[in-house]
Every structure is written in structure tokens, then in C-alpha cells.
Amino acid sequence: MDELLERKEPTKGLPPLEGAENGVVMRFAPNPNGPPTIGSARGIIVNSEYVKRYGGKFLIRFDDTDPVKKRPMPEAYGWYIEDCTWLEAKPDGIITASERVYLYYRIAEELICRNGAYICLCPQAIFKEFKDKGIPCPHRDQLSEKNMELWKMMLDGSFAEGQAVLRVKTDMYHRDPAIRDWPAFRIATTPHPIAGERYRVWPLLDFESAVEDHLLAITHILRGKDLADSEKRQMYLYQHLNWTYPKVIHWGRIRIHQFGSFSTSKLRKAIEGGEYNGWDDPRIPTVRALRSRGFRPEALRKFIIELGVSETDIAISMDSIYALNRKLVDPEANRYFFVWNPVLLRLEGNVPNNAKALLHPNKKRGFREIPAGNEIFICQNDSKILKPGEEIRLKDLCNIEILSDIPLRARFAGLEVIKGLKIIHWAPKNGLPIRVLRPDGQDEGIGEPGIAQELGKVVQFERYGFVRIYQLGEPLLAYFAHK
RNA sequence: GCUCCGGUAGUGUAGUCCGGUCAAUCAUUCCGGCCUUUCGAGCCGAAGACUCGGGUUCAAAUCCCGACCGGAGCACCA
């Protein structure tokens, strides 16, 4: 009976975590070689959400142990903390691997003593042959004392880069070649951006991550499918040291329709080359870009949590995030007129010099005043469909009758609202020059002066979409959020 | 090539472990209508999916086998 009722429970959001009843310790472990992207946001949000649900600790750990190929960016460490905090996932602890290499050395030595690892002097290509064939290399049977001696030589500089690695003993006959005796430490003499020249022997991800997860008493690991083999590899290390492995959940790759494929290193190049305005350019999928565009963290959290943690690869659309954010932002955003691709419209007759328009259509938030008069701007798109003789309404101003299309002229035709009349918006002749930066390009035009008072806020440009006022000036800069 | 993982509407997702209540959930998108001095919001309605083929069973989205498709790992990257 209980079973039946249990099965009826709909699972909303994230599925329950096995073995989490007494709290969890979870970590988000990025390489700080750029700012967090939407992909990183998934790691930040899901981990922190589980910690919120079950109680415990949410840690951020910088896996920054490659000074060469995945070279960390010193500014990025702070960016991660900043974006985590903005995403309502302030870490309870910050760990930086490059500051803790000495701890990994201790574990390595323990491992060598227990005969769980050996120094391998095979050139990389040679070892690959052994591995593919499934036969132990000549160094595998070295005595633990010999390994310790060679290890010290690695540390003291007796070996050059590439001459020696420390390998964890797994099973050279394992059916999956990816699991066989994997490397734990290699020599890298390039100075590290944070640790400088303090270390010349650096751990590789599988070792660093496995050891840290144990040291930090991580209970549950969420990781991408690309690291699906890591548990199998690291399990051997845990067995050698008699540790207990955390519970692991994998998720599939995530692609975003609107952004296509991207990588942090590619973005970095494009930004350094001036192709983008920076790490918050609306055309790129970073968390800071979303912030600049006026997204609310709740929208992002909700979206990511609804994605769940399936192992299926997914191709998501920003549309869902847009819809979620629109719901949050619509009641807050003041309304303004922005005329893109403006064309001048000359008006005859007693056009009011001022218009009064609601700041919000259905919240009682008062009015804004817009200078009007006999010359105003309208969108080129609107102008194209106007025919002489037609009567339309300028929103919140007056009705007009079109006199001619080229040149564009019209005359005042009354103030009273007439149902059924086509309505267009407009901007004052001496309005604000505005440039809107969009994910798909940019728009330029004229807006009403009140927009300048909304710096940093999200507003709606009527008939255009929601934007965040990014920077005052000539022109004023706005970042487009969504329709 | 070897190894692993996955395939529910356009997109995500629930259901798959423990077969029946699934002629399959929710959201988004699209379409139609209402409302509205925004093409926004809101309201109403509609459309749309179990990859395929076998097998087990009274009964299969759910279990088994095979095929197909997709992804990942096989780095001295993370």
C-alpha cells in the first residue's frame, strides 16, 4: 500500500539523492581559465540546490593544476565566486588545488609505500603500446624503495619534462583500455599563474580530484559524462588507500541552440582579438553576459533545475529561459518608447507638446512625460506600411491622418481613443540616441529621455523587448534580454 | 579499432528500477480565439512523442535480445 502511494509521487525538479538523508558535502570544481558559462551554471546550481535541500556544505574547488594546456586565468577565480554568489550559491568553502600540491605529494608517497603506484620512465607512445596490448610495462614491478627514489628525483629536478610520470596501478588486463594504469603526476616546469615556480611536479585531474574529494569528505559528486570513466579509474586509488568513494551522478553534454558550440579557450581568443566587447558581451553564453542582459538568478536556477540530471545529451533553447525571466521581469520593468531605424514624421496641426504615458500598463506606478510636437520619429517598418488617407494612433499621444508617404507627412486628427485604430509608438525629435546590443547583432535608434534614469535596470522597450540599461552616453547602451 | 553510456511531442522533462490505473505529465515553442492605447503580460482552446524489429507476458514506454542512431573515454588536458 505504501509502495503504491510512493509511486504516485510526482518528481518535480531534481530527483532525490541516494544516501543524502543526513546532509551532504558537494563541490563544484571548475578550471578557472575563463568566467563561468551557462554550462558552469548547471554545476553551480544543481550542486548548491542539493545542499540547500539536504543541508550540508557547498564547496567550490579550483582544479587548476595545469599551468600549460589549461592555463588558469588569475582574474577568473574571483569571477567564479562572484557569479556563484549572484546565482544564490555562495560557497561555504573555497579550495584551490594549486595551493595544496604538497598535500597530494604526501598521498603520493603513501601510495608508493603501499605499492599502489610506480614511476614510469616509458616514453608516452611506448606506454600506449603496452596499454593497448594490455601488458605491464618494465617499470611496473619496481620495488617500492626504487619508486620512492625515482619519485624524489622527479621532485628534485633530476628528470626533465616528459621523462617520468607517477602511475597508479590498476589492472593492465582491464577490458577497457581507458582504465589501465593511469598517470597521476607529471613534470611541468612552466611557472603557474598562482603558485609560481613552487612546484615542478603537478598532479593530473584524476589524482587531484580523487584525493581532494576524499580530503574534503565529499559525499556526492555530479560530473559530466566526459568524466564517466573517472570513477572506475579512481576506484583503484581508493582501494589502495582504503577510502570510500562518494556517490556519483553523471549528466550528458549540453548544447544551446542560440549559441552553437563554443569553448572557453575559443571565446578567450575571440575576446582578445576584439571580436567581442568582453566577457559579458550579449553574444556569448557566459553567466556575466546573462547578468548584463538583465536576467534574474531565479530564472536561471529554475531553468537548470527543471533540466534535471539525465545522462542524455541535450540541446536546449534559450526560449525557456526567456519565458521564465519574462515572468519575473514583466511586473518590474518600466515601459518606454524606443524607435529603431528611425524616420522623421512631420505633423501638421495642434499636436500636443507633451505626452503622458503609463510607466507600466497594469501596475499603478504613475506616468512618464514624453516631449512631442510637430516632428517625431517612428520606426521605418511602420512607415513603410502607411498609406495616404489612413488614420492611425500614435500611442499615448493622438490620432493622425497620413497625408503622404514620400516625404512622410501627416496631420493631427484628434485626441480621443478610437477602438480599432492601428497603434504605433514614436520617439521625440530630440530624444536619446540608443544602441541596443543583441545576441544576434545590434539596433540603433532614438528613445525617450526618461530611459536615462534607468541605468542598471531592466525596462521594456514597447513593441521591441526587454533590455537592461547598460551604460549612459552618446549613444546610450542597452543590452537586449529577450522579447 | 577497443570500452562505456544514452535514445518519450520542435525543445526540455515526468513515467522506465518495482509491467496493468499511460489512448503517456508538466513547461516552453507553434497555431487559433479573447482581452489590451505594446507585436508584452493575462485568459481560453488546439496541435504535437514512447527509434525500429523480434521475444517474454493475459498485459510492454516499462523486462530480454538484436539492429539503427547519437554521445563519450582510450592525453604526461580539465
pLDDT for res A281: 96
pLDDT, one tens digit for every residue, chain A (483 residues): 333 334 344 446 788 898 898 999 999 999 999 999 999 999 999 999 999 999 999 999 999 999 999 999 999 999 999 999 999 999 999 999 999 999 999 999 999 999 999 999 999 999 999 998 889 999 999 999 999 999 999 999 999 999 999 999 999 999 888 899 999 999 999 999 999 999 999 999 999 999 999 999 999 999 999 999 999 999 999 999 999 999 999 999 999 998 877 788 888 889 999 999 999 999 999 999 999 999 999 999 999 999 999 999 999 999 999 999 999 999 999 999 999 999 999 999 999 999 999 999 988 899 999 999 999 999 999 998 888 999 999 999 999 999 998 889 999 998 999 988 999 999 999 999 999 999 999 999 999 999 999 999 999 999 999 999 999 999 999 999 999
Scanning every strand, the nucleotide with its C1' closest to A128's CA turns out to be B74
A399 touches strand B (CB under 7 A): no
pLDDT for res A5: 39
Q: Which residue has the cell 611506448?
A: A126
From the CA of A11, how many Å to the C1' of B55? 32
pLDDT for res A405: 86
CATH code 3.40.50.10380 for A333-483:
no
Tens of pLDDT, residues A286-314: 999 999 999 999 999 999 999 999 999 99
pLDDT for res A12: 64
Report the relative pairing of strands A432-438 and A476-482 from DSSP bridges.
parallel
A171 touches strand B (CB under 7 A): no
In the 131-170 segment of chain A, residues within 7 Å (Cβ) of strand B are 131-132, 161-165
Amino acid at A182: W
A253 touches strand B (CB under 7 A): yes
Q: Which top CATH class is A100-251?
A: alpha beta
Instruction: Centre a 10 Å sphere on the Cβ of residue A368 and count the other Cβ atoms it contains.
Output: 20
In the 290-329 segment of chain A, residues within 7 Å (Cβ) of strand B are 306-308, 310-317, 319-320, 322-323, 326-327
From the CA of A435, how many Å to the C1' of B60? 58
A414: left (phi over 0), alpha (psi -120 to 50) or beta: left
Q: Please tell me if the domain spanning A18-98+252-307 has the same topology as the one spanning A333-483.
A: no
A416 touches strand B (CB under 7 A): no
B strand bases under 7 Å from protein CB:
1-8, 10-18, 21, 25, 27-29, 36-42, 70-78
Helix (H, G, I), strand (E, B), or coil: what is residue A209? helix
A212 touches strand B (CB under 7 A): no
- CATH code for the domain defined by A18-98+252-307: 3.40.50.620
* Residue ranges covered by each domain of chain A: 18-98+252-307, 100-251, 333-483
All 3 cell numbers of residue A254?
549540453
DSSP state of A196: B
In the 365-394 segment of chain A, residues within 7 Å (Cβ) of strand B are 382, 393
Report the relative pairing of strands A314-316 and A254-256 from DSSP bridges.
parallel
A455 touches strand B (CB under 7 A): no
In the 325-364 segment of chain A, residues within 7 Å (Cβ) of strand B are 326-327, 330, 335, 361-362
